Amino acid sequence: MESPVAGNGSGEELLVVEDVKKYFPITRGIIFQREVASVQAVDGVSLSIKQGETLGIVGESGCGKSTLARCIVRLLDTTAGRITFEGRDITKLSRAAMRPIRRQMTMIFQDPYASLNPRKRVGFIVAEPLEVHKLGTPAEVKTRVQELLEVVGLNPEHYNRFPHEFSGGQRQRIGVARALAVNPKLIVCDEPVSALDVSVQAQILNLLKDLQDQFDLTYVFIAHDLNVVRHISDRVMVMYLGKVAEIASRDALYKEPKHPYTGALLSAVPIANPKLGREREPIVLEGDVPSPVNPPSACRFHPRCPRFVEGHCDVEEPPLYPFGGDGHVAACHYPLERWPMAANEMRRAEKAASPEEALPA
């Protein structure tokens, strides 16, 4: 399948993901396990990222964004589809063949309290990737680690401390230093600031931006906070229940969203401005995200969609329709004509979904 999305960052295409699926089997039985169903965590996602670009991925919990991230760095094997990194298909590479590529793509995790080994010193934690890849003599490794600590804004003399001696923001800096250690091209950041306070969150976001400029890094930035994603991304992908709802450049997505789900997400974000906040009428979605074990037919958003059209949205799955030339695509038969839109304008004349139907099965 041809990748439908052209990036608008500069440089070569670094990573191409084509129609990737990840299903987790649900099994029954003790000795003879048979598969009774599967969780369709990621179901046919395609995207591409250019060198030096930041792709933001947003969506609610359970939309498959973290699973997708883990598939990209091959912490999980995909069920179907292809992932190409620097022109090379890495989907089926063996562990040994994968090892040199792991130097090129690293990951920053969400919880800086859980992702650092509490019994190892910071120096060891940051040096570990260098030792795994056998980069440099012990003396060189030490110099490199101290340099890294300085780059991320920590005191290099804290080399011998343990993670518990650091605050949340400082721990996340250690996580960033570790991810940077092997000079990667791509860093997949899975909710790197969600566990942090606002003032510290700003420090880490600024640091990530500075590092990108300094080392020409490419980021896949996963977050549920639309404000944060807007701040850091060049392009943004919105996911819903394992599928792509919309991909667009940052400005296009936030100014002219086409998918009703994107619209609902944007209007649900509280605005830190009481006057602006009172003026708008937020679009409040009914119900919860359905279960990915038994997702709704055709368009997966249809049971909660204010623009749902019976006999179309629940029968025919919308492809990614293009909007404009710069790779803006959205999977919706009845895209938003304009933005912002009040809740009652968004509703179409046809029957709207009732909250009853929106309940998970």
The distance of closest approach from Cβ of residue 279 to another protein in the complex, given in angstroms and rounded to an integer, is: 11
CA–CA separation, 49 and 12 (whole Å): 9
Q: What is the DSSP string of 70-139?
A: HHHTTSS--SEEEEEETTEE-TT--HHHHHHHHTTEEEE-S-TTTSS-TTS-HHHHHHHHHHHTT-S-HH
Please, which residue, 275 or 338, has the CB nearer to another protein?
275
Binding mask 198-217 for another protein (x = CB under 8 A): xxxxxx-xx--x--------
User: Is 361 an interacting residue with respect to another protein (CB under 8 A)?
Assistant: no
Burial call 29-46: b when 16+ CB within 10 Å, e when fewer: eeeeeeeeeebbbbbbbb
CA–CA separation, 18 and 23 (whole Å): 16
Report the amino acid identity of residue 128: E
User: Is 342 an interacting residue with respect to another protein (CB under 8 A)?
Assistant: no
User: Is 26 an interacting residue with respect to another protein (CB under 8 A)?
Assistant: no
The distance of closest approach from Cβ of residue 233 to another protein in the complex, given in angstroms and rounded to an integer, is: 11
User: Is 279 an interacting residue with respect to another protein (CB under 8 A)?
Assistant: no
User: Which 238-257 residues touch another protein, going by CB under 8 A?
Assistant: 251, 254-255
The distance of closest approach from Cβ of residue 250 to another protein in the complex, given in angstroms and rounded to an integer, is: 10
CA–CA separation, 134 and 177 (whole Å): 17
Please, which residue, 269 or 315, has the CB nearer to another protein?
269
Contact 124, 162 (CB under 8 A): no
User: Is 282 an interacting residue with respect to another protein (CB under 8 A)?
Assistant: yes
User: Which 143-182 residues touch another protein, going by CB under 8 A?
Assistant: 167, 169-170
Q: Which of 150, 198, 194 is nearest to 173 (CA)?
A: 150
Binding mask 79-98 for another protein (x = CB under 8 A): --------------------
Phi/psi for 112 (5° steps) reads: -70, -10
User: Rule CB under 8 A: which residues touch another protein?
Assistant: 60-61, 167, 169-170, 197-203, 205-206, 209, 224-228, 230-232, 251, 254-255, 264-277, 282, 284-289, 355-356, 359-360
